Chains A and B, each alone.
Chain A
Amino acid sequence: MEISSSSAVRSHCVGTTAIVYASDYLNKLTGEKIERECRRQLDSGCRALVIDFSDTQLVNSIGISILLGIIDIAEKNEARIVFSDVNSQTIELFEMLGLTRHVVLARNEEEALSSLSSVVPPTWPTLH
């Protein structure tokens, strides 16, 4: 397990899966940090991303836009993406905006990792 917090975003790797921790308020500043960290992890060879929202209380519009950007990057890199430990309000928001069509939601990190290690990978819809 490799632990990294160099870019002020907590993250660690489990095999080829990177787990990135979102902060309490996902806005422009923190969103861009998460995006950079996800890019870095994908560039360094990770094939799956888990974004942990256990500390996240609020996600604003910019946060949504940046998360869509991360989904896009993951798709381009043929990497899978899971959002874990998302609070009920944020789930409602993700469902309302259609983000849940593109990511798998998991109750916690363990569930996220086990969903990624399942034999049949989920199919990722492509948006145009």
Chain B
Amino acid sequence: MELTTQKLVHTFGSLADLGQEVADTGDFSEMVRTSLHLLLGTLALRRGGVVECAIDGSLYCVAPWGLEEPLGAEFTIDEKEKTLFLNGGPSAFLLENLESSNEFLDRYRVILKDQSIQVIVPMIVRGELSGFVMLGGKASGEDFSVEDFETIRAMVRHIGVGIHTHRLLEKLARRAEDNRRLYEELRAIYRDTVKAFAAAIDIKDKYTKGIRSASEGIARSSHAKWVGLRRKSKAFRLPAISMMSASL
């Protein structure tokens, strides 16, 4: 098989696996770790890490691989630096490129190089920087080609969307839990209010005055009667239904 075709087949396979992985609603950390493995395995990169960007500009490593220690714990990024990543081309993300006027890279270049990181690729989702994928060199020892950058960017885009989707799902689950709690609280308040009203009516009413929880007793017996009636009506209904079906 021709080398280009072989590379293409290998990359396609990785992209297909990546698509499946990011669409999976399973464990978040596992999804990011597997996605990183897929990216590293596509180009045979020996190390890398996925770093997420918090709202306050602090960074934290979600998935490290082959690194001495997780990257990004001490890193911060401001809005101006974020914009530079949004508008920068692939060459701007190479740590070797000293001509790049990216303050973020200048600030952490030494730390990143110590960890053998060569490229930093921004994860951009819906026009916002959600984090970075930091990558080491190729096992072949070759430099990154334009095609490699295209592959990396395509895969990083997928990973970014995957992370974003998982975060949205987490947020949704939190909101649903908040709503459920609010509903329970409102229900309890409503029940207590009704009970208070009933008690007030019992006191005011001349027939129930002095009888403790008269309304509650009536409610309980009504409920018991209703349950009994329901059972009876079911018993009556069943032969009627069977008769109807027989006539059909």
Contacts and interface: CB of A to CB of B under 8 A. Distances in A.
Chain A binding surface SS class: helix
A73 to B, nearest CB: 9
A20 to B, nearest CB: 19
Nearest to B9: A93
B10 A96 contact: yes
Contacts of B66: 68-69, 72
A65 B6 contact: no
Interface in B30-53: 34, 37-47
Interface in B170-218: none
B34 A68 contact: no
B46 A28 contact: no
Most buried by B among A61, A68, A69, A97: A61
Contacts of A102: 139
B140 interface: yes
A99 B44 contact: yes
B93 interface: no
| Size class of the A contact interface (CB-based, 8 Å) | 20 to 34
Interface in A105-121: none
A64 B136 CA distance: 15
B127 interface: no
A102 B47 CA distance: 15
B44 A72 contact: no
A101 interface: yes
A61 B46 contact: no
Contacts of B13: 60-61
A127 B17 contact: no
B45 to A, nearest CB: 8
Given A68-B139, A98-B140, A62 B37 contact: yes
B43 A28 contact: no
Nearest to A98: B140
Interface of A: 28, 60-66, 68-69, 71-72, 92-93, 96-99, 101-102, 125, 127-128
6 contacts: A61-B17, A61-B42, A65-B44, A69-B65, A98-B141, A127-B46
